[in-house]
């Protein structure tokens, strides 16, 4: 993940993709497990993979679907991020909702996805 900008940049170049048509889905330590946030044109927030993508695309104007994984005060960050989710944590992920967000992004764009899905209470 930390070097994902290499792969993203190669795909963008090969398929001549506009940076505004990109949706990167990634984990976020600052969001509770299962929560999410749709953002566009923002900094990496310290996420190494997003730093790599910004660096390789020379732009931060792509969209992101940030999915919360929470954080731990007891486990070092690297070990926590690379660790496995518990069954309870997996059950907190609403994959159908994430699919709807992605479908909305594809069909109607990031602004509509943010309008419909950001700041909504989790079920």
- At 122 the pLDDT is 46
Q: Decide if 15 is inside a domain.
A: no
Long-range CB contacts (< 8 A, 24+ apart) of 10-19?
12/57, 19/57, 19/59, 19/61, 19/62
Q: Is the pLDDT of residue 50 over 80?
A: yes
Q: Decide if 112 is inside a domain.
A: yes
Q: How much is the mean pLDDT over the chain?
A: 92
Share of the chain above pLDDT 90, in %: 71
How many distinct structural domains can be found in the chain?
1
Q: Is the pLDDT of residue 60 over 70?
A: yes
Q: Which domain holds residue 40?
A: 23-47+62-117
Q: Decide if 9 is inside a domain.
A: no
Q: What is the CATH number of the domain that holds 42?
A: 3.40.50.1470
Q: Is the pLDDT of residue 123 over 70?
A: no
Share of the chain above pLDDT 70, in %: 97
CB-CB contact of 93 with 67 (8 Å): yes
- Average pLDDT for residues 102-113, to the nearest whole number? 97
Torsion angles phi and psi, residue 66, rounded to 5: -90, 125
Which residues, including other chains, have CB under 8 Å from residue 100's CB and lie 6 or more apart?
117
Q: Decide if 7 is inside a domain.
A: no
Q: What does the block give as tokens for 58?
A: 């020379």
Q: Decide if 53 is inside a domain.
A: no
Q: Decide if 111 is inside a domain.
A: yes
């Amino acid at each position: 993940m930390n070097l994902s900008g290499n792969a993203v940049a190669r795909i963008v170049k090969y398929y001549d993709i506009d940076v505004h048509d990109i949706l990167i889905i990634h984990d976020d330590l600052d969001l509770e497990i299962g929560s999410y946030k749709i953002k566009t044109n923002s900094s990496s927030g310290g996420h190494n993979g997003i730093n790599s993508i910004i660096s390789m695309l020379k732009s931060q104007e792509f969209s992101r679907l940030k999915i919360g994984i929470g954080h731990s005060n007891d486990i070092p960050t690297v070990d926590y991020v690379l660790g496995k989710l518990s069954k309870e944590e997996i059950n907190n992920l609403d994959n159908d909702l994430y699919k709807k967000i992605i479908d909305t992004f594809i069909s109607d764009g990031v602004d509509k996805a943010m309008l419909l899905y950001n700041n909504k209470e989790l079920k």
